[in-house]
Amino acid sequence: MRAASIIRVCGRQASTAVSRRALLRTGIRSAVPSTVRSYASEAKLTRETYDVQRLEHFGKLSDADIAKFKEILQSDSALVQDQDDLLQFNEDWMRKYRGSSQLVLKPKTTDQVSQILKYCNEKKLAVVPQGGNTGLVGGSVPVFDEIVISTASMNKIHSFDPVSGILVADAGVILETADQYLREQGYIFPLDLGAKGSCHIGGNVATNAGGLRLLRYGSLHGTVLGLEAVLADGTVVNNLTTLRKDNTGYDMKQLFIGSEGTLGIVTAISILCPPKPTSVNVAFLGLESFKKVQDTFVQARSELSEILSAFECIDQGSLNQVAEHMDSPVPLDETYPFYVLIETSGSNKDHDEEKLNTFLENAMENESVLNGTVAMDETQAQNLWSWREMVPEALAKCGGVYKYDVSIPLPQLYDLVDDTKARLQEAGVIGETDEYPVVDVLGYGHIGDGNLHLNVAVRRYDKKVEQLLEPFVYEWIQKVNGSISAEHGLGFAKKNFIQYSKDAGMLTLMRGLKSHYDPNGILNPYKYM
Ligand code: FAD
Ligand code: MLT
Ligand code: ZN
């Protein structure tokens, strides 16, 4: 057996215990200190970067419209019109897309949403539903002057049943707030992701977000039991059921899950929440190849089975970028081509630790894993998690990032990173100095779900780089029967590429649904398909 430093297994040293998780959790947009994001100037207007034409049938905002919205919302503060205040609603998290909306509305009730949409539909005023604006495909911000309808003021928890574990809450509840509320009752939200401090649960449902523990708790298509939504014409669809089983008719809620604001505005959800695990272990491992990552995953599924709750992978380049922005030392003394974060969640500490220890001993014995560290307490666990959760923010600090969130059969998954890097190297656009637009090509993600995040970190957004990447990446994915979006959605970024993952028949069905539910096309135009 190779010399190892699996900490609790071998009992040789203590894991580094510097926790910056609190900072990281809030390190997303709304709560971020201004200095942290001062590296990039404001995004260029999407319509100019991508040469989009405004749809002529849409109305233009008038003083009479503003007066009507004031009447509906009964409060001036529920309307945002100040240019400085509008910027954060017009620009996306990556600072890649920017619209020029002149109005943000913040309704408090479903009835207000209904009145707003009814009016907008009659006047053909286009709208963009917006939650926490953490979306990564440009779906949450306007392209032109669409009115932003923010769920920020719809943030009440309606009910929680501690017997069934079913939560009913407004769409605008922040994910972390929902999770904290549930933890106090002995439960957790079945979704967790790095933007939890800012994203809204309605936004999560609208994007069908996957996150860090889909492997264990499944997709929102399974956990969301019901929802309430408002259609383009103002009709309120009430399907806020709290039943586990309901076989009466078409399962209409599924249409709204992942529809990214194109079919209606989700105003509330009902969701099945798992009990809070009482025993959680986190291990951070170093591996020599992506083949070993796969071997370790197969072994983890078999040996950790029911307690495995996350299997995340980070490549060396991604970890290096995080290291530049973290105060704490890297989790492992030596560098490795790949790192894996494994989490177990269960209810019996001794049982879970024994299982994990046996798994780690076996993984080192057969040399799938070369080195590793196991958190000894919650603070250390949070610190290890932060090395994974910090990746998107660290990469964005390079200046910008071209993001590809893809599903690929596991054996070919990392080849996409290698092939993309080779292509950009050949084109001479990657380098260490400012003259090169590209800093690096990196891969990380939810390997347990077959979901890779291919990221091209750039010093500045650059058309030549984009043209080298697209449609190359999408063609590559199509060849291996993958999906061009595993969890982030289509938004503006992938609107023109959906045919790489959906055939003509599916697209006809989707377009038919869209025109049925939103005949004037006012809901989130210029996006999705
Ligand atoms: P927004 O960004 O505001 O909106 C996203 C889309 O949903 C838009 O098209 C918008 O129009 C629509 N929408 C929002 N609210 C509603 C509503 N109430 N009704 C109808 N439509 C609506 N995503 C993952 O899947 N997994 C991850 O692990 C993950 N990690 C992330 C980490 C970081 C650091 C960041 C910045 C983002 C991450 N994301 C991840 C992407 C993003 O956080 C998710 O897509 C999230 O679900 C978006 O929620 P939001 O409230 O911010 O929605
Ligand atoms: C993640 O897994 O970290 C998120 O999906 C965000 C990203 O892809 O950058
Ligand atoms: Zn992800």
pLDDT of residue 328: 84
Q: Using a 6 Å cutoff on CB, does residue 405 contact ligand 2?
A: yes
Question: Which amino acid does the sequence have at 82?
Answer: D
Q: Tokens for 390, please give them.
A: 């910090």
- Looking at CATH, the fold of the domain delimited by 157-272 is given as 3.30.465
**pLDDT means per 10 residues in the chain (529 residues)?**
37 28 27 34 90 98 98 97 97 97 98 99 99 98 98 98 98 98 98 98 98 98 98 98 96 98 98 98 98 98 98 98 90 97 98 98 97 97 97 95 97 98 98 97 96 97 97 98 98 98 97 98 98
**Domain coordinates in residue numbering, the chain:** 55-150, 157-272, 279-393, 398-488
CA distance 486 to 50: 24
Strand order in the sheet with 371-374: 371-374, 279-287, 338-346, 308-315, 438-446, 451-458, 400-407
Closest Cα to atom 14 of ligand 1: 203
Is 225:243 a contact under the CB 8 Å cutoff?
Answer: yes
Within a 10 A sphere around the Cβ of 209, how many other Cβ atoms?
25
- Which of the 8 DSSP states describes residue 447? G
Is 404:479 a contact under the CB 8 Å cutoff?
Answer: no
Architecture of domain 398-488: 2-Layer Sandwich (3.30)
Q: Do the domains at 157-272 and 398-488 have one common CATH topology?
A: no
- Looking at CATH, the fold of the domain delimited by 279-393 is given as Alpha-Beta Plaits (3.30.70)
CA distance 520 to 120: 10
Considering only CA atoms, which of 387, 288, 389, 309 is closest in space to residue 355?
309
Q: Using a 6 Å cutoff on CB, does residue 135 contact ligand 2?
A: no
Ligand nearest to the CA of 391: 2
- Which residues approach ligand 1 with their CB closer than 6 A? 28, 93, 128-136, 139-140, 151, 171, 193-195, 199-200, 202-204, 206-207, 209-212, 260-261, 265-266, 392-393, 487-488, 491, 524
Whole-prediction pTM value? 0.94
CA distance 444 to 455: 8
CA distance 159 to 123: 36
Q: CATH for 55-150?
A: 3.30.43.10
Closest Cα to atom 16 of ligand 1: 203
Considering only CA atoms, which of 406, 415, 372, 403 is closest in space to residue 483?
406
pLDDT of residue 327: 82
Is 131:104 a contact under the CB 8 Å cutoff?
Answer: no
Considering only CA atoms, which of 255, 368, 263, 391 is closest in space to residue 319?
391
Is 356:344 a contact under the CB 8 Å cutoff?
Answer: yes
For residue 409, whether the previous peptide bond is cis, meaning omega lies within 30 degrees of 0, is no
Q: Name the β-bridge partners of 341.
A: 284, 312
C-alpha 454 to ligand 2 mean position (Å): 10
With left for phi above 0 and alpha for psi between -120 and 50, is residue 58 left, alpha or beta?
A: beta
C-alpha 234 to ligand 3 mean position (Å): 33
C-alpha 130 to ligand 1 mean position (Å): 9
C-alpha 506 to ligand 3 mean position (Å): 25
Within a 10 A sphere around the Cβ of 140, how many other Cβ atoms?
31
Give the chain's end-to-end CA distance (angstroms, integer): 53
pLDDT of residue 41: 53
To which residue do tokens 């995340």 refer? 312
Ligand 2 pocket: which of 314, 405, 407, 484 to mutate (most atoms within 8 A of CB): 405
Considering only CA atoms, which of 337, 511, 434, 405 is closest in space to residue 193?
405
Q: Tokens for 346, please give them.
A: 């269960």
C-alpha 392 to ligand 2 mean position (Å): 6
Contacts of residue 523, Cβ cutoff 8 Å, sequence gap at least 6: 126, 127, 129, 232, 261, 262, 263, 264, 265
**349-365 and 290-303 helices, crossing angle to 10°:** 140
Ligand nearest to the CA of 137: 1
Q: Name the β-bridge partners of 400.
A: 458
C-alpha 413 to ligand 3 mean position (Å): 15
- Which of the 8 DSSP states describes residue 98? B
Contacts of residue 471, Cβ cutoff 8 Å, sequence gap at least 6: 497, 500
- Which of the 8 DSSP states describes residue 449? G
Ligand nearest to the CA of 191: 1
Is 163:186 a contact under the CB 8 Å cutoff?
Answer: no
Ligand nearest to the CA of 104: 1
Closest Cα to atom 21 of ligand 1: 261
pLDDT of residue 42: 79
CA distances from 490 to 393, 462, 487 (A): 21, 21, 9
φ/ψ (deg, to 5) at 445: 145, -165
